[in-house]
Structure 1
Amino acid sequence: LAATVREDWRAEDTAVVVLRFESGLLGEALYCWATRTPDLGSVGSVYGTRGSLDIISAEAGLVLHRADLAGGQQVVIADDGYDHGYNVSIADFLRAVRGERPATISGEEGLRDLAVVEACYRSWRSGQVERVEAIAAGPAAGGPHFPTRGKPA
């Protein structure tokens, strides 16, 4: 499910994604760039049966919450600033381009990530469950041809 809420944006600014992983695990993500408010908390959270993780929270870069921890939480990774991950990714890409070493994330992995995004768009357009494997397998199996974005009128 996606929408454009802000009039000054030319693409979707809000999306809700529900994923079922091969293991049967159910995942959900809410993306919203439409809000005009200050940071209200963590960028992301992961919930499990024994605890949860806050990703880039007000307290740190990664915070583990579990009942058996002193104070109920533990800082796993200190906060290096929101842009730190971008800087590390760009530096890694530049080292690969200069031939100093292979990129940490391969082009194939990037294509698999795009297949997930394309499956989300296809599901939004069709209203049906879309299988990432079929898109990632190649054009003969329905992917990774990535048509223009957006829901048909």
Structure 2
Amino acid sequence: MNKLKVAVIGCGSIAQNRHLIEYHNNEQAEIVAVCDKVESRAKATAIQYNAKAYTSYQQLLAMEDIDAVSVCLPNALHAPVTIAALTKDCHVLCEKPMATSREEAEKMIVTAKDFNKKLMIAHNQRFASSHEKARDLIASGAIGKVTSFRTTFGHGGPEGWSADGSDSWFFRKDEAFIGAMGDLGVHKADLLRYILNEEIVDVAGFIENNVKENSTVDDNAVCILRTESGIIGTLAASWAYVPNEDNSTIIYGEKGTLRMEDDPEHALIASYRDGEVVKYQLGKIQTNDAGGQTSSCVVDHFIDCIIENKEPLINGEEGMRSLEVILAALQSNETKQITTIVK
């Protein structure tokens, strides 16, 4: 079978540390083109992966015969570039958050269906071994009825991760649309929906810009969430956690508690009412800090879905539902009221 021809649009850190490496390591894919508005970055990446370099995604899509595209651009460009690629008969793997509004997300979903192409959103938390195991334990009834949760995702900020450092688009509202809540919080919204296997319906959001100077987006946020069955808990997202990243999630049930990514040695610890404690040594979650897993599994899943004609685990509809939680948090913060997510 011929390899899938892939283009990566945007050659910043997420592309360099995730997408490009994972496509390169996948025997069923070939990187044929890359694009970045910074010409030197595009050329250097192209040389590294033996691909063609572009500074215009429109030109790339017009010139290249490709099967799939990764969209690794500022948030405000996710929807327009994804839609452009879909209309060129390309399957698309888009970074999160998938869009800046429900309307944009819906247009992406409709376009993918109209052109019969796969649309996947790069929510990698679902693929972490600890999260998959916790989902299975919850579904099996091991901890009984889930009553509450606490999840957080925080680190020192994009300046330590972005290719542009403190001058990154992450800090500019016109390009990013949203800060820590879009960068990190949307991952946790998606994770909660996945492991609890139900939707979040009510959101109370407290969102601040109180850490990063010269930033026009949020850098600290805490949300209170309620699911459709009445589970309540908190979600925190921050660009102010130093010196180490916190990527932990705790699920509280009637029969026990599950702690994920909350212990340096054990990815999952299950503590039960009868005193039993089970410590799982699973693969570590992918992280910006040293020592995380080397692959997010996102690209491999995307490629498999294309080849085997399967629906991606995080398709456009799933990406939109997770985005809606973040949009609801923004609305709640602005109105100072609880926001209900309308189905």
Check whether TM > 0.5.
Answer: yes
Which runs of structure 2 are paired with 1:1-153 in the superposition (5 Å)? Answer: 1-7=206-212, 10=215, 11-38=217-244, 43-57=248-262, 58-70=264-276, 73-76=277-280, 78-83=281-286, 84=293, 87-97=296-306, 100-133=309-342, 137=343
Structure 1: tracts of 5 or more residues without a match: 138-153
Q: For the residues of structure 2 that align with 1:86 and 1:64, how far apart are their CA atoms?
A: 25
Alignment partners' CA distance in 2, 1:55 and 1:8? 32
What are the superposed Cα offsets for residues 4-47 of structure 1, whole Å, 9 maximum, x if unpaired? Answer: 2332583322211111222122121222230212357x612112
1:98 Cα offset (Å): 5.1
RMSD: 2.6
CA distance in structure 1 between the partners assigned to 2:213 and 2:268 by the alignment? 32
Q: Distance in 2 between matches of 1:117 and 1:14?
A: 13
Q: Deviations over 1:82-111 (max 9, x none)?
A: 214961123212333456532122211111
Unaligned runs of 5+ in 2: 1-205, 287-292
* SS of residue in 1 equivalent to 2:301: helix
> Residue 24 and residue 67 in structure 1: after superposition, are their counterparts in 2 closer, same or farther (change >3 A)?
closer
Q: Following the alignment from structure 1 to structure 2, what is the Cα–Cα distance between the partners of residues 86 and 17?
A: 29
Shift of 1:121: 0.8
Could you say what secondary structure the match of 1:87 adopts? coil
Percent of paired sites with the same residue: 23
**2:339 alignment partner, SS class:** coil
Say if 1:18 and 1:29, in contact at 8 Å, map to a contact too: yes
| Partner Cα separation in structure 2 for residue 115 and residue 8 of structure 1 | 28
Shift of 1:131: 1.0
Write the distance in 1 (CA, Å) between the matches of 2:270 and 2:253.
Answer: 11
The DSSP-based 3-state class of the residue aligned with 2:225 is: strand
In structure 2, relative to structure 1, the CA distance for the partners of 1:86 and 1:18 (3 Å cut) is farther
Q: Please, what TM-score do these two structures have when normalized by structure 2?
A: 0.34
In the superposition, relative to structure 1, how do residues 99 and 27 fare at CA in structure 2: closer, same or farther (>3 Å)? same
The worse-fitting range, judged by mean Cα deviation, of 84-93 and 25-34 is 84-93
Tell me the SS of whatever aligns to 1:124: helix
Q: 1:130 to 1:68 in 2, by over 3 A?
A: same
| SS of residue matched to 2:310 | coil
Contact kept? 2:269, 2:278, Cα under 8 Å: yes
Paired with 1:132 and 1:108, the residues of 2 have a C-alpha distance of 14
The verdict on how the C-alpha distance between 1:17 and 1:66 changes in structure 2, with shifts beyond 3 A counting, is same
Offset from partner CA, 1:90-144 (integer Å, 9 cap, x none): 32123334565321222111111111111111101111111112xxx4xxxxxxx
Given the two structures, how large is their TM-score scaled by the length of structure 1? Answer: 0.70
**1:9–1:32 Cα change, 3 Å:** farther
